[in-house]
Chains A and B, each alone.
Chain A
């Protein structure tokens, strides 16, 4: 059974510092990996989708890498801002799971201090 882990569960950084968020998964047979952002009391916003054939994906200050063989993905957020404070979740689409369902990590809660 696929398991997705995000460590640390919480992270606090000063404004301007680069953020590095980690995601690991146990089964490398995935279709893709998706990073989401969730603000308190809100829904999940899709940030980046990396297909299993890709090594990285970029959008503005965000860059996500994928290493399928080691079961890891990293989300980099450059020059963090207080508005980046949120919970970040990663999710994998397991190639072996029926119904094309995402398996989510527990999330990393980020606080960017001014």
Chain B
């Protein structure tokens, strides 16, 4: 199906484990983004990418790593998960700065 998909939709892991959240979009949008959403903090940008092989930090990048070898994929890796990284993670994409931004369905991550 066209659009943005995220996998897994739900994930439970333990402190110290590495976790990778996947994001795939079928529109060939240039821009892709990772956000986390927490009560009391709203949506916060983790990392973003303007094109394949171009990534940059957002507001809260510590503890996360991204890559973008292909335009359509933008995986987010938690190198050593901590309880403070328990959150709902959203991937988003946009064609150009002046276009609408679209969001994926989210991944609910729990770190025990």
Binding site for B on A (CB under 8 A): 31-32, 34, 36, 42-46, 49, 51, 89, 91, 93, 98-102, 104-107
**Given known contacts A42-B106, A100-B31, A34 and B98 CB-to-CB distance under 8 angstroms:** no
Say yes or no: is B43 at the interface (Cβ < 8 Å to chain A): yes
- Other than the given A36-B103, A43-B105, 12 more pairs (CB < 8 A) read A31-B97, A31-B98, A32-B98, A34-B100, A34-B101, A43-B106, A46-B103, A49-B99, A51-B98, A99-B50, A100-B94, A100-B97
Does B105 lie within 8 Å of A106, measured CB to CB?
A: no
Binding site for A on B (CB under 8 A): 31, 33, 42-43, 45, 48, 50, 56, 58, 90, 92, 94, 97-106
Does A101 lie within 8 Å of B42, measured CB to CB?
A: no
Does A102 lie within 8 Å of B105, measured CB to CB?
A: no
Does A106 lie within 8 Å of B101, measured CB to CB?
A: no
A42 to B105, CA, bound (A): 6
Majority secondary structure of chain B interface residues (helix, strand, loop or mixed): strand
A46 to B90, CA, bound (A): 14
- Within 8 Å CB of A32, what residues of B? 98
- Within 8 Å CB of B33, what residues of A? 101
**In the assembled complex, how far is the CB of residue B100 from the closest CB belonging to chain A, in whole angstroms?**
5
Does A46 lie within 8 Å of B106, measured CB to CB?
A: no
**In the assembled complex, how far is the CB of residue B48 from the closest CB belonging to chain A, in whole angstroms?**
5
- Within 8 Å CB of B105, what residues of A? 42-43
A43 to B33, CA, bound (A): 14
Does A43 lie within 8 Å of B104, measured CB to CB?
A: yes
- Cβ contact of B97, chosen from A89, A93, A104, cutoff 8 A: A93
A101 to B103, CA, bound (A): 14
- Within 8 Å CB of A106, what residues of B? 42
Does A44 lie within 8 Å of B90, measured CB to CB?
A: yes
**In the assembled complex, how far is the CB of residue A112 from the closest CB belonging to chain B, in whole angstroms?**
23
Q: Which residue of A lies closest to B96 (CB)?
A: A100
**In the assembled complex, how far is the CB of residue A105 from the closest CB belonging to chain B, in whole angstroms?**
8
**In the assembled complex, how far is the CB of residue A93 from the closest CB belonging to chain B, in whole angstroms?**
6
